[in-house]
Amino acid sequence: MQNSNKYTHTTVNKNIVAIKAFFKFALNKEFITQNPAMKVKMKRTETQYSSPRGLREQELMNFVKAIGEEEDDSKRLKALAMCYLMLKAGLRVDEIVNVTVSNIQVRRKKRHVSIRSNKANFSRTIYLDGDTIEILKCWIDIRKPITANDALFICERGTSISSRSINYMLTYYAKKAGLEYFNLYGLRHTFAKNLVTQGLTVSEITYYLGRSDLEGTKRYLNPKR
């Protein structure tokens, strides 16, 4: 594609997608024997390099405060435990759904959570700070007795909580906190940015995020956001 420099990468990518689709169609119809667009690569866009947005310090304080003001002990502790596991351990929403009581170790010398990542297909161990441990202890104490369902977070019926319920619950407190911009991934992004601030290497951050590639992690090194 000649003279592509005068077009934005987004515009170039749209044309590449159209060209690839055309030649794929032609190949399927046997109009051609080889796809000349097979190895054409997409242009990287600015958004691919930009750092994901985490919560700013004041936003985070307001969010945690809103949860803390919940009068129902069970709801408050459940929401705080979820929040802290995403914020201070970097768990994904689906990992919050699947984490079990037995994944959590709260003994003094083994304060960690063990997570099996579906995306990266390996397990990782994340050590937890004192605040997170105390919240998890309180939640486990108030939670229904351990039965056949070992899930850390359960509904009133005793079944595992859904990702939709998690999103609804935490978004509710975000609105109470007056956050204009909020999604659950913002907590995980904040965790990643904190690791960058602490001086961890890209490889270490990749491990703690449960990722399999370094390129995606490098976005967090961008200071713009």
Q: Could you tell me if 34 and 133 lie in one domain?
A: no
Mean pLDDT in residue range 180-191: 88
- Tell which wins on pLDDT, 2 or 103: 103
**DSSP H helical segments within 29-56, as ranges?**
46-49
The CATH code of the domain that includes 65 is 1.10.443.10
| Alpha helices (H) along 90-162 | 93-98, 130-142
Residue 27's domain comprises 4-49
Other CB atoms closer than 10 Å to residue 162's CB: what's the count? 13
Answer yes or no: do 119 and 13 share one domain. no
Region of poorest pLDDT, from 4-13, 52-61, 128-137, 203-212: 4-13
CA distance 183 to 186: 6
The single residue listed with the structure tokens 């992690």 is 217
Residue 139 and residue 32 in one domain: no
The dihedrals phi and psi of 116, each to the nearest 5 degrees, come to: -100, 115
Q: Is the pLDDT of residue 104 over 70?
A: yes
Give me the mean pLDDT over the 95-117 stretch: 79
- Determine the pLDDT at residue 59: 92
Choose the weakest-confidence range: 41-55, 154-168, 172-186: 41-55
Q: Give the count of domains, the chain.
A: 2
Q: Dump pLDDT digits (tens) for 120-154.
A: 567 888 888 889 999 999 998 888 666 656 889 98
Residues 146 and 94 in one domain: yes
Instruction: Inform me whether the pLDDT recorded for 117 exceeds 80.
Output: no
Tell me, yes or no, whether 94 and 159 share the same domain: yes
pLDDT surpasses 70 at 49: no
Q: Residue 55: what pLDDT? A: 87
Kindly write down the DSSP assignment for every residue of 160-206, as one continuous string: BPPHHHHHHHHHHHHHHTT-SS--THHHHHHHHHHHHHTT--HHHHH
Are 8 and 62 in a shared domain?
A: no
37 lies in the same domain as 138: no
pLDDT at 177 over 90: yes
More confident residue, 100 or 223: 100
Same domain? 33 vs 90? no
Most confident of 5-9, 64-68, 94-98, 195-199: 64-68
Asked if 161 and 196 sit in the same domain, the reply is yes
Residues 68, 34, single domain; the answer is no
pLDDT tier at 173, thresholds 50, 70, 90: very high
Range from 27-36, 38-47, 92-101 carrying the lowest mean pLDDT: 38-47
What pLDDT, on a 0 to 100 scale, did the predictor assign at position 149?
64
